[in-house]
Amino acid sequence: MSETPIAEPLSQPVRIALPPAAPTVTHVIIGVTVFVYLLQLASAAIFGYAVYQIGWLEYFGARINDAIRAGQVWRLITPVFLHGSVAHIFFNMYALFSIGSFLERHFGHRRFALLYFLAAFSGNVLSFLLTDGYSVGASTAVFGLAAAQGIFFYHNRELFGGQAKQAISNAVFIIVVNLFIGLTPGIDNWGHMGGLLGGAMFAWFASPRWEVAGISPNLYLHDQREFREVVLGAGVVVVIFGGLAFWGML
């Protein structure tokens, strides 16, 4: 069980055990994504490419606007499992492992899974509306995780004290740097922006809001966030980005 230092006004910091939530969903997502990439390589080696050097899995799962307008709406989610190169999947999975392991311990398994796929959906919707060609990759979801991490620390800034300020600054710095890198031709920066917005919207409503409960020395963290707020956050993202996707298909 991990612990976190909690800053208490006018007293010495104390350590309170965090909920013992292992990052199982993070590990499963990484495993599935790596497996799908191996299938991408195998299908290209065995069956060749479909069109324009796009492998068969990408052909049926990438964000391709004409296919989405034809009703293949699963392409607003499936690109999160597909990648264009070893470097592409390595950096995305490294970021997912680094940020996702932390967030899942705090958000819990189901809330973290919702965050990941809502951010992926939001990113692919904005990419669908504002870019041509095709796109693949988990960076839409990863940007949503980065936004959620900053919002989590903001909501719990009184508990984490100076650590929260540093964590928020780091999250903003990482987001800005990666958006700047995303200006490079061939990178789907609109997808990054969409994932950032979707993850931030969901986290604003659904991020844990902790308070210290119990009697010293038996202190523990109690999440004040109610289930209906999590549902509301998910609903806001689905309604806004689902509505945008519907508008783009008209």
Please report, rounded to a whole number, the percentage of residues in the chain having pLDDT higher than 90: 63
| Residue 19, SS3 per DSSP | coil
The tens digit of pLDDT for each residue in 69-110 reads 999 999 999 999 999 999 999 999 999 999 999 999 999 999
Q: Which residues are catalytic?
A: 139, 192
The answer to whether the beta carbons of residues 205 and 233 sit under 8 Å apart is yes
* Listed residue (218, 175, 224) closest to 199, CA to CA: 175
The answer to whether the beta carbons of residues 83 and 37 sit under 8 Å apart is yes
CATH, range 21-249: 1.20.1540.10
Q: What is the pLDDT of residue 1?
A: 46
